């Protein structure tokens, strides 16, 4: 088991949900964190809380990963002590609406593709060269079971997560022969702000999770921690994690309700 104490970990989408849960878990194990998102006030609050509780170093970085130039500039401008990133967690992602393709909004498609696919590529492209130069590193891409199948009205969101899956598999091939490890985490239904953002409706999001026991962000953070702490000769290529009440991206058992 690898010790992540004093390792530098960059987490995108760290202001809430899975990203925030990762930050809290990794900080508790002594890692130094670069937490990125667009909501800088949340990042500052999180950083202060983690530093106070765990005496770990935390660097809040306001960043819109859809902006390639901003990503490149932000990584280049990191203070010297933060530039050697050991673990990259490409967590930032979103779904917008759940309309059939004929009623979808192209601006929503652009946002999902720019964030879920291009943003992941931009951040990876900015950080990977240093990992290769230092001959160590681990990239964790947060996919989805929506990248392993499709569901009605999931169209473009499902397509972006299929892209994450393909990129991750190809990345692993491209990096064959290097010490850089690559992992995809594919969660099922996780109760976070994800559905609130998707529908812009807190009540609708709450209702979606009412009749079954979904995963929580900590469940996924635990899985990521497991993957990145394996011995260096072990690469967990992919991990699919669903609630016990879920069988696929199309099927959730709601018969018994929450226990």
Buried b vs exposed e over 159-173: b needs ≥16 C-beta within 10 Å? bbbbbbbebbeebbe
Q: What is the mean pLDDT of residues 66-93?
A: 98
Active site residue 54: no
pLDDT at 256: 63
pLDDT at 200: 84
Rounded CA-CA distance 163/159 in Å is: 6
Is pLDDT at 115 greater than 70 in this prediction?
yes
| pLDDT > 90 fraction of the chain, expressed in percent and rounded | 91
Is pLDDT at 54 greater than 90 in this prediction?
yes
Q: All domains of the chain, ordered by start, with CATH?
A: 8-252 (3.40.50.720)
Rounded CA-CA distance 189/220 in Å is: 11
Q: What is the mean pLDDT of residues 33-47?
A: 98
- Closest of 71, 21, 17 to residue 197, by C-alpha: 17
Considering only residues 232 and 194, tell me which one the structure prediction assigns the higher pLDDT: 232
Q: Which two tokens stand for residue 86?
A: 């050991």
Rounded CA-CA distance 250/151 in Å is: 6
Is pLDDT at 82 greater than 70 in this prediction?
yes
pLDDT at 258: 58
pLDDT at 255: 78
pLDDT at 201: 85
Catalytic option among 54, 157, 209, 226: 157
On whether the CB atoms of residues 189 and 213 are closer than 8 A, the answer is no
Is pLDDT at 203 greater than 60 in this prediction?
yes
Q: What is the mean pLDDT of residues 91-108?
A: 96
Considering only residues 203 and 174, tell me which one the structure prediction assigns the higher pLDDT: 174
Task: Please write the tens of the pLDDT for every residue from 125-163.
Answer: 999 999 999 999 999 999 999 999 999 999 999 999 999
Task: Please write the tens of the pLDDT for every residue from 185-201.
Answer: 999 999 998 888 888 88
Residue 246: which H helix or E strand, with range?
strand 246-248
pLDDT at 257: 59
Is pLDDT at 259 greater than 60 in this prediction?
no
Rounded CA-CA distance 232/115 in Å is: 30
């Amino acid at each position: 088991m690898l010790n992540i104490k004093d390792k530098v970990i960059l987490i995108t989408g760290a202001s809430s949900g899975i990203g925030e849960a990762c930050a809290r878990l990794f900080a508790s194990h002594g890692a130094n964190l670069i937490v990125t998102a667009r909501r800088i006030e949340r990042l500052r609050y999180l950083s202060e809380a983690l530093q106070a509780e765990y005496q770990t170093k935390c660097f809040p970085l306001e960043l819109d990963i859809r902006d390639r130039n901003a990503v490149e500039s932000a990584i280049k401008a990191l203070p010297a002590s933060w530039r050697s990133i050991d673990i990259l967690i490409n967590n930032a992602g979103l779904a917008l609406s759940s309309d059939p393709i004929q009623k979808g909004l192209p601006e929503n498609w652009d946002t999902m593709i720019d964030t879920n696919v291009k943003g992941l590529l931009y951040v990876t492209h900015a950080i990977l060269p240093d990992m290769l130069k230092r001959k160590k590193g681990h990239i964790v891409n947060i996919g989805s079971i929506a990248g392993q199948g499709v569901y009605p009205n999931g169209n473009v969101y499902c397509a972006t997560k299929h892209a994450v899956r393909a990129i991750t598999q190809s990345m692993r091939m491209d990096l064959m022969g290097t010490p850089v490890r690559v992992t995809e985490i594919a969660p099922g239904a996780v109760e976070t702000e994800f559905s609130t953002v998707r529908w812009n409706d807190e009540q609708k999001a709450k209702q979606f999770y009412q009749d079954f026991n979904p995963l929580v962000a900590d469940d996924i953070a635990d899985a990521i921690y497991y993957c990145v702490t394996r011995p260096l000769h072990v690469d967990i290529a992919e991990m699919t994690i669903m609630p016990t009440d879920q069988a696929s991206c199309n099927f959730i058992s709601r018969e018994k309700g929450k226990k």
